[in-house]
Structure 1
Amino acid sequence: MNRPTRKTGLFLVITGAMFWGVGGTVAQKLFQQFAIDINWLVTTRLLIAGCLLLLVQFFVKDRSQILGVWKDRKAAAKLIIFGLLGMLAVQYTYMASIKHGNAAVATLLQYLAPVMIIVYLILRRQAVLTKQDLITVSLALVGCFFLLTNGSPSQLSVPTPAIVWGILSGLSVAFYTLYAVPLLKQYDSLVIVGWAMIIGGFALSFIHPPWRLDLSSLTMEAYFYLIFVIIFGTMIAFWFYIESLQSLSPKETSLLGSLEPLAAVLTTVIWLKEPFGIFQWVGTACIIGMILLLAINRKSS
């Protein structure tokens, strides 16, 4: 198979990031206009996207890894933990934050994960506090303050449940990122993420089976949004991002990945017409600035 060109890599990472960001806004539309149950959406999204990612692995990459990961008991145990405490936690908390607030705030709060990782590594004495860390954490804190209060400390501009779920989403991403490292060194990312999605979706099926929804009551518009969230906002977004690493450096993919929160904010404000104050835009700029700072200073591998 020919290695993708740089232009192809740029297209893939930009498209993947945009799909991720817009996918959150489309999920918000499903919650608000069509009263889609969050448990059902997360379950269905994980199961279908996970199966599709494993299909991509089967036809495009090393298919032996799909079942091979389960022959390694240690890796299998880690994969189950990753699927439940990593993948399921990330997906559910993110969607819950969207449901109680909006996609813009949920996505920006989720992007606090790198700061949480920095703080964790410093507390564990696995990293030393640097000037860049101080700037990064400061941008995150100032950004959150303006984003959540719109400049008025006495009043939150975002519902409390949305903030709580959003912070939990950031914590889940931090765990997801750190815990996945050993697994991703052994197996292809499509295998690990695909199985993790299926594990998370299967577990949530006991709470809300995916077949328990009257799909006949949904409009064609709702079906279109569902397909977008599951296929484009989850499966293709992840696949494109991973594929872009074949022709771009991790630094470049991280940098262009910051288009996700920007896409989420713009579509939430312009398409869904969510109110966004001037100080919330300042907070958004601080958080995106933090992401860019981290991406620019990350060593290429």
Structure 2
Amino acid sequence: MPVHTSGTRQDGAGKGVGLSLALASALAFGGSGVAAKPLIEAGLDPLHVVWLRVAGAALVMLPIAVRHRALPRRRPALLAGFGLLAVAGVQACYFAALSRIPVGVALLVEYLAPALVLGWVRFVQRRPVTRAAAVGVVLAVGGLACVVEVWAGLGFDALGLLLALGAACCQVGYFVLSDHGGDSGDDAPDPLGVIAYGLIVGALVLTVVARPWGMDWSVLTRSAPMNGTPVAAWVLLAWIVLVATVVAYVTGVLSVRRLSPQVAGVVACLEAVIATVLAWVLLGEHLSAPQLVGGVVVLAGAFIAQSSTPARTDGEPVAGGTASGAERELSARGTAA
């Protein structure tokens, strides 16, 4: 997917603002699973929660889509791929995984995406990757083995883990699309426009798949238990739509306009930490010491993979793992995870 950042990177105060926006984006994305899981446990189907999230965010972003109404004619395949993979695929798989496994585990499995992207670059595109990037992949896979407790025959629901892995695979498609047209310069589509139309496409696809007309709408009029504390369902939904989607995407895009993709990608790694801590505090989902160590190793591997990219030459795609940086360039969640 084309990536276009206008203007030059700012120093001093500008970088401080960029880091603050990137952190705000990680906080917003990290809270999506914590707010969604009580709704799922209260009786909403995971697909219905995804549809509510994406459709609500699409309505909020509709004015931006109108502003960039020429974009569908210029890049129809790009918007379709973004909507199917980055929006519908990632969110559907991630939220479905939440109904079966803890939030932190789902998100850490989704963070295999940078490793999978390197596999795509090495074995599908047949381009070399850096040694540090390969080390990052090994660390990420080893840390994931600790998170899912392979020595216990997988300590979590197998289908839930497969759904989380599906979210990671959808993010691979997202990242591969992110590399298309990156050398288009001023002709590259505006990231906000791509996000707006991606949400619209995702909402249309999810409407067919989720069939919201069969949803139990009464759940939204009741409260949902969050670790024993009742919270109004509409408050949780408002958080998911306005904060965990709209604010998260917009602050992420604005942060990348002030930072390099590598710096924004490093800050993005905090999303998994934030989600795990929030799930621990708000949902009571405690992880064991080996799982916590494994989570740290996964994030370290993702960090190394993302920060080990060699300098990019004109017209040559990046071959070292700046997947999360490209993600923040466009939308600031993975996933799915």
Cα distance in 1 for partners of 2:62, 2:298 equals: 34
Aligned to 1:130: 130
Cα distance in 2 for partners of 1:158, 1:243 equals: 37
On the 8 A contact 1:250/1:300 being kept in 2, the answer is no
Cα distance in 2 for partners of 1:87, 1:54 equals: 15
Cα deviations across residues 134-162 of structure 1 (Å, max 9, x unaligned)?
3112111111110001xx61432221111
Aligned to 1:5: 14
Aligned to 2:195: 193
Structure 1 residues 67 and 218, CA gap change in structure 2 (3 angstroms):
same
Gaps of 5+ in 2: 1-6, 224-230, 313-337
Cα distance in 2 for partners of 1:288, 1:281 equals: 11
Aligned to 1:37: 45
Cα distance in 1 for partners of 2:37, 2:204 equals: 23
Cα distance in 2 for partners of 1:56, 1:90 equals: 22
Amino acid in the other structure paired with 1:43:
W
Give the alignment partner of residue 296 of structure 1, picking from 307, 318, 321.
307
Aligned to 1:49: 57
On the 8 A contact 1:69/1:76 being kept in 2, the answer is yes
Structure 1 residue 52: Cα displacement = 2.1
Cα deviations across residues 271-295 of structure 1 (Å, max 9, x unaligned)?
2111311110111011111122234
Structural RMSD (CA): 2.4
Taking every aligned residue pair, what percent have the same amino acid on both sides?
A: 21
Cα distance in 2 for partners of 1:71, 1:214 equals: 36
Structure 1 residues 270 and 55, CA gap change in structure 2 (3 angstroms):
same
On the 8 A contact 2:65/2:197 being kept in 1, the answer is no
On the 8 A contact 1:54/1:190 being kept in 2, the answer is no
Structure 1 residues 191 and 213, CA gap change in structure 2 (3 angstroms):
farther
Aligned to 1:163: 161
On the 8 A contact 2:133/2:306 being kept in 1, the answer is no
1:88 aligns with 2:88: yes
Gaps of 5+ in 1: none
On the 8 A contact 1:94/1:165 being kept in 2, the answer is yes
Structure 1 residue 300: Cα displacement = 7.8
On the 8 A contact 1:249/1:300 being kept in 2, the answer is no
The within-5 A match list for 1:1-301 is 5-32=14-41, 34-56=42-64, 63=67, 66-72=68-74, 75-149=75-149, 153-182=151-180, 185=184, 186-210=188-212, 212-215=215-218, 217-219=221-223, 221-298=232-309
Secondary structure in 2 matching 1:206:
helix
Cα deviations across residues 85-117 of structure 1 (Å, max 9, x unaligned)?
442111111111111112111111111111001
Count of aligned residue pairs for this structure pair: 290
